[in-house]
Amino acid sequence: MTDQPVPAIETEGLVKRFGTTRAVDGIDLTVRTGTVYGVLGPNGAGKTTTIRMLATLLRPDAGTARVLGHDVVAQADAVRSAVSLTGQFASVDEELSGRENLVLLGRLLGFSRGPAEERAGELLDAFGLAEAADRLVSTYSGGMRRRLDIAASIVVTPELLFLDEPTTGLDPRSRNQVWEIIRILVAAGTTALLTTQHLDEADQLADRIAIIDHGKVIAEGTSGELKASVGAGSLRVRLRDPEQRPAAARLLDQVLGEPAQLESDPAALSSRVSDPQQVATALAELTGAGFAVTEFALGQPSLDEVFLALTGHPAEPTPEEDAA
């Protein structure tokens, strides 16, 4: 263990309370440099609070956190010199233009006027914002804002980049762009800590994932490991005749050994599948029994299913937990 390089992030028993709520309740994380680490959880799980502590914006109530070897409380300035933060709600200045935002950050990071402007121009080109550069950010679309936000985070390339729900509220095209940017950043050597509510996002980007709920890590591993822990996924079937649904559900229950769920679409039902092999059997049985199947799909386990499996409660934004 002692030969290991300094981890990008290492926390032990990190706790943050707000009043009587333990927003973060003893989180242990280790993130290796050069990797993308995904923190997955529903709203209110403690993701943002964790990031804010690691970025020196909040002081932990208990436990320790070291970022690139520096303690987030005692050596906050050293931490700040090595990290950048892209917040959940784009942390750019809406009342300035895109260019002014980047020039301002360049100057705050120590560039003099000329080089700050040059760097801003470079980033605006790279992020496809050259045309909108001199418009106020308040006129930007969500995707443009997020790109500017990320550009602002790499005016000086950070060793560690915090991305707090970088694609929340974005359309699929903008989301793909952000994913692409993150991949390029990581390929260039930056470590990223990413929070998300979506398993597929963590799956796409993260080398390792921690699932957190009520301020605690409830599972940790690669996406493959996590998925294996909740079964292969779910089978969704749509019948031609909604009348047949109850009978089809009974059949699926038998074949898959899991209770089938009736969906809001009156002709559709779904069931968890622990072994993909069973899917072929189930479909054959359905057709053999005279059910006309118009559609079927084998889905990845959703965050809901991961949650259900791990915690026994759905991944909805939960009300304040009573008595922990």
Partner 1 sequence: MTTTTETDPVLAEATLRAALSTRARPHRPSGLAASAAFGWRAMLKIKHVPMQLFDVTAFPIMFVLLYTYLFGGALADSPREYLQRLLPGILVMTVSWITMYTGMALNTDISKGVFDRFRSLPIWRPAVLVGMLMADAARYTMASVVIITVGVALGFRPDGGPLGVVLAVALLLVFSFSLSWIWTAIGLRMKTPESVMQVSMTVLFPLTFASDVFVDSSTMPGWVQAFVDVNPITLLAGASRGLMHGSVDGSDIGWVLAWSAALVAVFAPLAMRLYNTER
Instruction: For the CB of residue 35, give the shortest distance to partner 1 in the complex, in Å.
Output: 17
End-to-end CA gap in the chain: 34
- 153 vs 234 by CB, closer to partner 1: 153
- 181 vs 239 by CB, closer to partner 1: 181
Instruction: For the CB of residue 304, give the shortest distance to partner 1 in the complex, in Å.
Output: 25
The correct pick among 36, 68, 102, 123 for binding partner 1 (CB under 8 A) is: 123
> What region does 205 belong to: left with phi over 0, alpha with psi -120 to 50, or beta?
alpha
Distance (Å, rounded) from C-alpha 56 to C-alpha 65? 10
Distance (Å, rounded) from C-alpha 185 to C-alpha 109? 19
The correct pick among 154, 202, 230, 255 for binding partner 1 (CB under 8 A) is: 154
3-class DSSP assignment, residue 280: helix
DSSP 16-32: EEETTEEEEEEEEEEE-
Piece of the chain touching partner 1 by CB under 8 A; list 28-36, 55-63, 280-288, 305-313: 55-63
Nearest to 289 by CA among 241, 247, 243, 258: 247
Instruction: For the CB of residue 229, give the shortest distance to partner 1 in the complex, in Å.
Output: 27
Piece of the chain touching partner 1 by CB under 8 A; list 5-13, 19-27, 74-82, 263-271: 74-82
Q: Is 163 in the site for partner 1 (CB under 8 A)?
A: no
Piece of the chain touching partner 1 by CB under 8 A; list 123-131, 246-254, 267-275, 300-308: 123-131
Catalogue the E-assigned strands of the chain: 9-18, 21-31, 36-40, 62-67, 70-71, 83-86, 160-164, 191-196, 208-213, 216-221, 233-239, 261-262, 268-273, 293-299
- 14 vs 232 by CB, closer to partner 1: 14
- The residue ranges that bind partner 1 (CB under 8 A) are 52, 55-59, 77, 80-81, 83-85, 87-97, 100, 104-105, 107-111, 115, 122-123, 125-128, 136, 152, 154, 156-157, 173, 176-177, 180-181, 184-185, 188-189
